[in-house]
Each structure stands twice: as structure tokens, then as C-alpha cells.
Amino acid sequence: MHALLGLGCSARRLLAFAGACSLTALLTACAGGGGTTSHPGGSAGSAATTGGAGNSGGGHVGPGNLSTASASVARRLSRTELTNLLRDALGDDSGAAAKFLAEDQYRPFDNDYTVQEASGALIESLEAMADDVADRALSAANRGKVVPCAPTGAGDAACLRSTIESLGLKLYRRPLSEEQINAYLTLQSFATEANADVPHDFYTAVNLVLRSMLQDPEVLYRIETGRPTGEPGILRLDSYEVASRLSFLLWGSGPDAALLDQAKAGALLDGPSRSAQASRLLADAHARAQIERFHSMWLGYRAIPASAELAAAFSAETNKLIDTIVFDEPSSYLELFTSTRTYVTDALAAHYDLEAPARGQGWVSYPDSKRAGILSHGSVLAAFSKFSDTSPTQRGIFVQTRLLCNKVAPPPANVNVDQPPSAPDKVCKLDRYDAHRTLESCKACHAQLDPIGYGLENYDIAGRYRTHDDAHEECVLPDKGELPGFGEFSGPGELGRLLVDGGKLEECFVQQLMSYAIGRELRSEEIATRDALLASFEGDAYDLQQLLKTYVSDERFALRQEEVVP
């Protein structure tokens, strides 16, 4: 299905739109030139993938083989991860990171390390953030949370040491070396110096310690070194490094005290102990928030063009479905795409024209197969729009790239994608999109995209069902589309069913999950790992919690490979 290669497409324009796949064959080719019609499709501007060039020496594949440990680098914490770390380590939920730092790029995840750069603007923003957080942390009302002892005076070195050790453990995610502690202790001079003009005390020193920690690369980056194994370039992580991998994957934050205790005891170096900790972490609310966030990035609805009120309602609906399937009533993860019920309030039920729930909010059943699962939610249906309305092409790109991990080539250069398709004699929207079906330079790509969107076109930008174009009653919408290579469908529910039955969705999901865990697109040498993980997923009846435990239990979760510098 997805191997239409080479039809005259310029190799230089192979760019990934979105999604985390750098591996499956180019979906289709776009011939250059031609086309004077305006062009509605194409992304508004996803960045080209840089993708790694690293290639570990081929060799064997399969789980447990050292040489397939993933290459990794020092990954800077994303803005959300930093926010979570500040909240969990310091009790600071002021959102300081969001206030001072620029937003990460979403590709579609916020933790793609291949686009992280340390700019002057970043360093200045971090200094401002550190100042702000430290002032709040050491305010009279809050300092008890941060300083574990009662200082006897400005020069109480023992209490400063305890404070440094305690803060350092939480922020660095490992105990500080003696050298590091002594370096921070020198800041005590600011507490004790003779200076009648400037108010200063013990807490002044702590403030400066915290400011320094919050600007330190060892805190801001997840620096993994590891120790040599027998294999060249393959390193074995220590317990603290593994603890961080666990907590950042499952919570999007630093390890909690219990996990740090495990690390201190030298545990986490075997699969079963990692699995046990994963169970504990998954049972916590942090994990729910993390899984919910993962989905909002993967499926593109983390920011949708809807009023704040409606966006919140959609968010609640979608998070409830995710939570139920993954945590509360664990069942096959694939039910996320086929669930025949959704959790709504009266208002949301009315919005969708569904039966009202009992008692103001609750589960209601969809009336037919056209709606089912997460693809029917307003959250997903609102994403990938264009020109204030749904875009069949954008929705097609969403399905191909995010759910099937196929690449889609960009439109030919000289086509103006800033204008909706125009054909003055054609009133009906899909008639205008027909240009994609007829023009030589358009049809090869669009044949893979638009038919998907046609099957969803009856669901508007707010997820409501409609029978015709918004402004034209005579333009009846088809209520039928095609997922090329899989079959015809009517509505997001039937699309979900085709995807689940088609055997590619779960493979792509595993790939996206790995991509998020590793912090970049997967590489060809990681495919075997993906496939083995997929087999486990299937063997465990698609239990997502179990998948995550399987992933972290794998020997390679505690290994890393040096990234090759091109």
C-alpha cells in the first residue's frame, strides 16, 4: 500500500511532515511543475526532519542484543519536564518555566533533541527563571519546604551542607559529589560577609545555591555517561541514570524519593526491579497526566482552534477515555479507536447530538458505527483544520503520518498552498478539491490523502455531524471515504475499525512511543526492537501498561550507545 515510489519525484524534496517515522517507504511521489490552481493541501509548515545519521554496525538484530541499544545524547529537559521537575522537587507550581522560556518545537513531541540548541536567549531566560524560582522557594512562607534543618546562624555550614545535599539529590537526580558540595558551600560567604547595607542571612546562601543549580547543565540536561561494557560504544547506565529514564518516560519529571532510594540501593539494573517500579509509577496520577499529554501531542490536539470552554470539554472527554482504557478498566489499547461509548456532560452530549448522560455526566453510547473511539472526539476532529474549516487533505496527512507512520511528500514548490482550492464555477467544497484528483501533478499524492478526509468531512471543525457544506445546503457531503489500501468507511468510527483491523496502527503506535521515549525519530537499526516490542504488545492483548513495563524491563533500557558525530 505504502510503497508507491519514485514516480518522478525529486529526491531532494523528501521531507517528513509530522509524525515520527523516518523508515517506511515514501508514501507517494509528487511530480514537479504544472498546476495553476491554488492549492489547499500541505502543512502550514512543519519543519523538515533532521533525523540522525547514526548507524551502529549492522550485525544481529533482536531483543537483548547489546549492539541494538539506542544511541542517545544529553537531552535538555523540555519546558514541561522542567515545569514538572520544579513542581516535584521544590513544590513550585507557579509555571515559571513557561513564563521565562520559549516554547519547545513540537515534532510532534516536545522532546526532540535533534532540534535543541543552546542560544544566548535561552541562557538569559534560564537565569531569569532561576532568580524567580529561587526567590519564591526561599521566601519566608516557603523555605521550610526547601531547607531540611533549622540553621543556627548565617554561618551554619552543616545545615547548608544538608540543604545542598537534599536539593542536589532532587534536582540533579543523583547525589552530589563531595567536590560539588564543597563548591556550593563557598556561597556561604554571601550569608556571612560583613555588610551592613545589604540584608542577608543563611537563606541568602541557599538562594544562590538554588540559582546555580537551576542553571546547571547537569540539572537542565539528562546527561548519561554509563560505564563500558564489552561492546565498543555501548555503555551500561548506573541506577540513577536508569531511575531518571523511568521517571521521565512515565511521569515527565525527575524521580521521586522512593525511586531515588531504589537507585541508591543499586537496584533498577535488572528487568524485574524496573518493572516493579514501573507498576508503582503507573499507579500514580503523574502517569495519567503523562499518558494524556503524550496523546495530545501524538494526535495533534494539544492546541486546537476552539473556544477555551469547548477545548476543555473535549479535553475532559478524551482524557476520560484514555484513562479508562489504560488505567481504570484496562483493556486492549486498540479500543481507544473503537470504543462504542464516550464520556460526556449534558452540554457536550447536546453539542454532538448524542443522547444525554444520566445524572449530568457519564458514558453514552454512540448510535451507530460511524462514530466510535478517539477519532470521533471533538479534540481530534478539530486538529488538522485549515481556513477555518475542516481540510480533507490535512486530515488525510494526519492519518497517514501519525497513525500509519507513512511519510508524505510536500506539494510541488510552485503551488501556492496559502489559498484554498478555488474554482469559481464550483460552489461545493469537495468539487473544488476535485482538482487534486484530476491534475497530473496532484493526484498521485492526493489519492493517498483526500479520500481519507472525504470519509470524515461530515464531521465539522467542532466534531459535529453535518450533511452538507456549512454555507450551502445543496452541497451534500458524501459520508463515505476510503483509507487507501484498507477499504471504504463512513465516519471516524469506521475509520478506527479499519485501522485497528488493518494491522498497521499498532505498529505505528509502538514506533511513536519509542520515538517519544528516545527523543528522536527511530532509525533503521531500531526497527527490530520495535517489532519485538510489538509482538509483546500483541501477546499481552495490547495492554499498554504491560507494554511500558516490557519496554523498561528490556536489557537495553539500561544501556546506551554513543551517538555518532557526522
Partner 1 sequence: MKKLILPRRTLLRGLGGLAVGLPVLECMLNGNGDAYAQSGSLPKRYAIVFAGQAIGGDDWEENKYMVAGTRTTETGHFIADTAAGAGYPVTTPLKPLDALGLMGDFSMVSNLKIPWNSSSVEGADVPDAGAFRDFHGGGASPLLCGTRSTSASFKAASITSDQIVAKLNKTTLDSLVVRAQPSWYLSGSEFAGRQYISYGDGGKAIEAQINPGIVYHSLFDSFTPEGDGEQAAHDFELRARQSVLSLITDKRERILAKVGAADKLRLQEHFEQIRALELRIAAMPPSGGSQCQKPAAPTDNLPVGSDNAGSGSDTIGTNTGYSDEDARARVLADLIHMAFVCDLTRVATLQLTVFQSHMNVFEISTDFGMPIRADLHECGHNGDATTRGQLPVSMCLGWHIGHYAYLMDKLKKTPEGAGTVLDNSVVIFMPEAGHGVQLNDATSNFATHSVDRMVLLVGGRAGGLSPGRHIVAPANTHPGKVLLSAMQAAGSTDDTFGQVTGKLPDLFA
Neighbours of 181 (CB within 10 A): 16
Query: Running DSSP on this structure, what letter comes out for residue 465?
Result: B
Specify the stretch interacting with partner 1 by CB under 8 A; choose among 142-150, 314-322, 383-391, 447-455. 383-391
Q: Which of 2, 9, 29, 46 is the binder for partner 1 (CB under 8 A)?
A: 46
- Residue 125 interacts with partner 1 (CB under 8 A)? yes
- Residue 305 interacts with partner 1 (CB under 8 A)? yes
The interface mask with partner 1, positions 489-518, x = CB under 8 A, is ------------------------------
- Residue 389 interacts with partner 1 (CB under 8 A)? yes
Q: How many residues bind partner 1 (CB under 8 A)?
A: 83
Q: Which of 40, 396, 410, 463 is the binder for partner 1 (CB under 8 A)?
A: 410
Pairing of strands 559-562, 71-72: parallel
Strand order in the sheet with 227-228: 71-72, 559-562, 234-236, 227-228
Contact positions with partner 1 (CB under 8 A) in 75-94: none
Contact positions with partner 1 (CB under 8 A) in 177-216: 180, 183-184, 186-187, 190, 195, 197-198, 200, 208, 211-212, 215-216
- Residue 48 interacts with partner 1 (CB under 8 A)? yes
Smallest distance from the beta carbon of 461 to partner 1, in angstroms? 8
Specify the stretch interacting with partner 1 by CB under 8 A; choose among 30-38, 245-253, 446-454, 536-544. 30-38
- Residue 359 interacts with partner 1 (CB under 8 A)? no
546: Cα separation from own chain's centroid: 19
Smallest distance from the beta carbon of 206 to partner 1, in angstroms? 12
Specify the stretch interacting with partner 1 by CB under 8 A; choose among 296-304, 323-331, 355-363, 537-545. 296-304
State the Cα–Cα distance between residues 193 and 187, nearest whole angstrom: 10
| Phi and psi at residue 183, to the nearest 5° | -60, -45
State the Cα–Cα distance between residues 157 and 172, nearest whole angstrom: 21
Closest CA to 451 of 421, 486, 503: 486
Contact positions with partner 1 (CB under 8 A) in 419-448: 419
**Cell numbers that stand for 432 in this block:** 473544488
Query: Running DSSP on this structure, what letter comes out for residue 403?
Result: I
Q: Are 22 and 401 in contact (CB under 8 A)?
A: no
**Cell numbers that stand for 255 in this block:** 524521580
- Residue 274 burial class via C-beta count within 10 angstroms: exposed 0-12, middle 13-18, buried 19 and up: buried
Query: Running DSSP on this structure, what letter comes out for residue 264?
Result: H
Mapping DSSP to helix (H, G, I), strand (E, B) and coil, where does residue 417 land?
Answer: coil
CA dihedral 499, 503, 508, 514 (to 10 degrees): 140
Residue with Cβ nearer partner 1 (127 or 540): 127
Q: Which of 229, 414, 438, 524 is the binder for partner 1 (CB under 8 A)?
A: 414
Pairing of strands 234-236, 227-228: antiparallel
Q: Which of 4, 23, 128, 149 is the binder for partner 1 (CB under 8 A)?
A: 128
Specify the stretch interacting with partner 1 by CB under 8 A; choose among 124-132, 155-163, 354-362, 498-506. 124-132
Residue with Cβ nearer partner 1 (197 or 353): 197
Specify the stretch interacting with partner 1 by CB under 8 A; choose among 220-228, 275-283, 472-480, 533-541. 220-228
- Residue 36 interacts with partner 1 (CB under 8 A)? yes
State the Cα–Cα distance between residues 493 and 376, nearest whole angstrom: 6
How many helices (H) and strands (E) the chain has is answered by 24, 12
Q: Which of 35, 378, 455, 463 is the binder for partner 1 (CB under 8 A)?
A: 35
Smallest distance from the beta carbon of 221 to partner 1, in angstroms? 7
